[in-house]
Amino acid sequence: MTEERSTRPPAPSDLLPDLTTEQLRALHQIGRQWDRVAGESEEWRRALPVDPNVGSYPARHQVRQPRYERFVTVSELGADPRTTLASETPGEASTPAGRAGYRLRRVLLGPALKSTALVRERMRKLVALPVLSSDALSSVAYGPEAMLTILVIAGVAGLSLSLPIALMIMLMMLVVGLSYRQTIRAYPNGGGSYIVARHNLGPTPGLLAAGGLIVDYVLTVAVSIVAGIAAITSALPALSGATVPLGLGVMALLLAGNLRGVRQAGILFAVPSYVFVFSVGAVIVVGLVDAALRGFPPAPTTQVNATTGVTLFLILRAFTSGATALTGIEAITNAVPAFEPVEWRNARTALTWVVLTLLALFGGLMALILVTGTVPAPGQTVLSQLARHSFGTGAMYVLVQASTAAILLLAANTAYNDFPRVLSLLARDHYAPRGFMRMGDRLAYSNGILLLSVAAALIFVSFGGDTTSLIPLYAVGVFLAFTLSQAGMVVHWWRSRARHWRKSLAFNAAGAVMCAAVFVTAAIVKFSAGAWVALLAVAVFVTVAVRVRVHYDTVGRALRLRPHAASAPGGPISVVRRPPDEGAHTMAGSSRAGRTSDREAEETPEEIHHLSVVPVETLDLANIRALAYAASLRQPVLAVHLSPSEEEAERMRGYWLQWGDHLPLEVVVCPYRTIIAPLVNYVEALHEQRSDLTITVILAEVVPLRWWHRLLHDRMAFRLRHALRERPKIVVTTVPFHV
C-alpha cells in the first residue's frame, strides 16, 4: 500500500481488495486447472439464453417493463459493451414499507449521487480558516468556564489562580500550534493523529490515537451541543427546561444534514465563525476599554463560598479542564489537501492565524473575567455574563449568543466530518467493520455518521445535557491523540532527517511532552470524576479493533486462492460420467480413497459430485415444482419425507406411487415430531457416506404476499437454512412459490 493511498480517505473502488502478484499467479493456476478438465465442454459455457448486456438488447423498448423501467436504465453510450450501468435504484424496495422508506430518504436526503460526483473541493484561506477553525475557536465558549467552575470551589483563593493557569494554557496553545505546523509540512496529504501515530509508532499506538479521537469526536458533539444550548438558554431562560429535547433535535438536524452530505466548504459555514470572532472580540474590547476608562476598579468581591482549600489537585483539575480550549486545534492538519496550492504552505499560514486568534480570544476573555470578577453562575454561561456586562441585553448581546450557538453547532459538525473519516480509515486497515468504508447514497460514510449520532445521543441523554459532568471525560481522549500524534512526528523527523528536521523535532518533542503531561494529569486527577469512562472506552475500542482485525485476517487467509493438488489418477471426469448401475458403495469407497481432502477447497466444476436432497412435506404444487427443479438439474436426486407417524408415512408412499414414483423417495419416521433436526442429521448421515459429495438441499418455500401471513407458515425453509448453513459442503437452494 503506498503512502499516498494509505492516507487519503477510502474511495468506493477500495472495496475490491487488490490481488498481490502471488495471488494473481494462484488465480492463473486455478484457471489452468479449469482449462484442463473443462476444455472440451468450453463451448456450452458461453451459450446464454439471454443477452447479458441488457443495455444493447435490441428489443429493449418492446419489452414490457412498466414497473422496473425507472430503475434500470442502461448505458446508451455503449462505451464498453461489457458494462451495464445501473441507475439510481430504490434499495431493496420490493415491499411497500421499503418503497416508502426509499421515498422518505429521497425527500430528506435528496437524489442519490454518483461516485463520480466525489470531487475534492479547494478552499481559499479566507474560507478554509473559519470552516476549519470552528472546532478550535468554539472551545473558548466553554474552556474558561470549565476552568473557573473548578477554581470557584476554592473560593477567592482559587479564583486568584486563574491568571497563572490561563497563561499556562496559552503557552500550551502556542507550543501545540507550532508542533502541528511541523505535521502539516510532513504530511501534505493530511496527517490525522491515527495516520501519523500508525505510520511512525506502529499499529497499537495508532489504534490508541484512533480510540482517543473516536471518544473525542463523540464527546465533541455532546459537549458542543450542550454548550450551544447553554448559549441559547442563557439568553432565553424559558427554554432551560427543554435542554434534552432541544439537543436531540439539533442532533437529528446534524444527522440528516450530514447524511445528505453537507459540504464543509461554503460561505454559509464561514459566516458564523467570523461573526463569532468579531462579536466576542467586541465583548473583550468594549469590556476592557470600559474598565480602562474607569481606571480598572478592583473587581467587586464576588460572593463565593470556598468549600475546599487550594490544593495541587484542584489546580491540576482546573488546568486540565481549561485545556479543553485546545480541542479542535488539529483540524487543519487533517484537511491540508483542501487548501489551494501550495497546500501545505497555505495550511500552515491558516494554522498560525487560528492559533493567534485562539490566543487572543482566550487571553482576552480571561483578562475580562479577571477585571470584572465574573464567576460561573447557574442558568447563565460566563460568556453570556461577559456579553451582558459589555453590551447589556441589546442586539449585540443577542449576536454574541447567537454566533456562539452557531459556531458550537459547526464544531459538532466538524466531528460529523472527521469521525466517519477516521472509521473509514480504520475499516480500510481492517480494524473496523467493512461497512464503515461504504459510502451511502449521498457519498457520505453513512454508517459512521449514524454510529456517531447514536453514541453522542446516548452520552448526551445519559448525562442529562450537562457540560460540567461531560468536561472531565473530554480532555483525556483529545490529549491522548495529541500526544501520540506529536510523538509520531518526533519519530518521523528522526527517521526522515528532512530539511530543518532538528528544529521540527524539537517543536514536536515539546508538544508531545506537554500533551503527555496534560494527558497523564487529566487521567489521574479526573479519573474518578469521569475520565475512567473515557479511558475504558479507549481500551474497549482498541480491544474490539484488534479482535476485528484478527477476524478479518482469519477470513482473508481462509479465502486466499490456493490451487489444490492435481486430482487422483483416473481423473475426475470419469467419476462424473460413471454409469448409473455402478454401485454406490464402491463409488463411495474409491472416491474417498482417491481424494486427498474433503474440505471446502477449490474444486473444478467436474470435480464436484452432486446429490440433491428434496425434503417433501406433502405433494402439492410447491413441492412438485421443487422436485421438477431438482430433476431438471440432471444430477442424482433423493426425495426425503419426514413423517411424524408410520401411518402417515404409508399414506405418503401411496401418494408417491400414485404420482408415478419418478424419483427415489426415502421416508424418515420422526417419532419425536421435530422435523429440522432429523433432516439435518439425515443429510449429515448421507454426507458421512461420501464426504466428497456436495449435497444440495432443495427447499420448496411458500412465499405469502403479506408479512403477517408469514406468521401462519412454519418458516421451515428459514429454519432449515439456518440449521444447515453451519455444515460444510451443503448447499441450500430455495424454490419459491408465490401465493
Whose cell is 487422483? That residue is: 568
Residue given cell 451443503 in the structure block: 730
Q: Where are the beta strands (DSSP E) in 554-704?
A: 609-615, 637-643, 665-669, 693-703
Q: Which residue of 296, 496, 628, 707 would you call a contact of a copy of itself, by CB under 8 A?
A: 628
Give the C-alpha distances (Å, rounded to integers) separating 702 from 305, 409, 459, 674. Answer: 76, 52, 45, 20
Site string for a copy of itself, 545-564 (x = CB under 8 A): ---x--xx-xx--xxxxx--
133 close to 410: Cβ distance less than 8 angstroms = no
Check binding of 191 to a copy of itself (CB under 8 A). Answer: no
Residue type, 378: P
Which triple of cell numbers denotes residue 547?
Answer: 479482535
Q: Which is nearer to a copy of itself, 90 or 373 (CB)?
A: 90
CA dist., res. 231 & res. 614, Å (int): 69
Amino acid, single-letter form, for residue 114: K
Residues 552 and 219: beta-carbon distance below 8 Å: no
Interface with a copy of itself: number of residues (CB under 8 A): 186
Q: x/- string (CB under 8 A) for a copy of itself, residues 17-46?
A: xxx----x--xx-xxx-xx--x--xxxxxx
C-beta closer to a copy of itself: residue 12 or 202: 12
Instruction: State the nearest-atom distance from the C-beta of 34 to a copy of itself, in Å.
Output: 5
In angstroms, give the least distance from the CB of 552 to a copy of itself. Answer: 7
Are the C-beta atoms of residues 145 and 382 closer than 8 Å to each other?
yes
The single residue among 104, 536, 671, 707 that binds a copy of itself, judged by CB under 8 A, is 671
- Torsion 491-497-501-502 (CA) sign: positive
d(CA 383, CA 240): 17
Q: How far is the CB of 334 from a copy of itself (least distance, A)?
A: 23
Using CB under 8 A as the binding rule, whether residue 567 contacts a copy of itself is answered as no
Between 302 and 733, CB nearer to a copy of itself: 733
* Smallest distance, a copy of itself to C-beta of residue 274, A: 36
Q: Does 610 bind a copy of itself (CB under 8 A)?
A: yes
Q: Taking CB under 8 A as the criterion, which residues in 412-451 touch a copy of itself?
A: 433-435, 438-441
Q: Is 356 in the site for a copy of itself (CB under 8 A)?
A: no
Site for a copy of itself in 116-175 (CB under 8 A): 116
**Cβ neighbour number for residue 446 with a 10 Å cutoff:** 21
Residues within window 57-76 making contact with a copy of itself, judged by CB under 8 A: 57-59, 63-65, 68, 71-72, 74
Residue 474 CB, shortest distance to a copy of itself, in Å, is: 29
| Shortest Å distance, C-beta 457 to a copy of itself | 21
Q: Which residue has the cell 448421515?
A: 685
Cβ proximity to a copy of itself: between 3 and 42 the closer is 42
> Which grid cell is 220?
465533541
CB of 422 to a copy of itself, least distance (A): 18
Tell me which residues in 568-607 interact with a copy of itself (CB under 8 A): 580-581, 584-585, 587-588, 600-607
597/645 with CB nearer a copy of itself: 645
Instruction: Kindly report the backbone phi and psi dihedral angles of residue 123, in degrees, each rounded to the nearest multiple of 5, phi listed first.
Output: -120, 135
The binder of a copy of itself chosen from 76, 503, 664, 707 (CB under 8 A): 664
DSSP, collapsed to helix, strand or coil, labels residue 361 as helix
Is residue 621 a contact residue for a copy of itself (CB under 8 A)? yes
Please, what is the end-to-end C-alpha distance for the chain in angstroms? Answer: 52
Q: Which contiguous run of DSSP H or E holds residue 487? A: helix 467-496
Is 408 or 451 the residue whose CB approaches a copy of itself more closely? 451
Residue 280 preceded by cis peptide, ω within 30: no
CB of 596 to a copy of itself, least distance (A): 17
DSSP state of 442: T
Which residues, numbered 274-293, are part of the site for a copy of itself (CB under 8 A)?
Answer: none
Cβ count within 10 A of residue 188: 16
Query: Pseudo-torsion of CA 536, 540, 546, 547, nearest 10°?
Result: 150
Nearer to a copy of itself, 343 or 606 (CB): 606
Q: Which of 54, 171 has the CB closer to a copy of itself?
A: 54
Which residue among 419, 611, 614, 615 contacts a copy of itself (CB under 8 A)?
Answer: 611
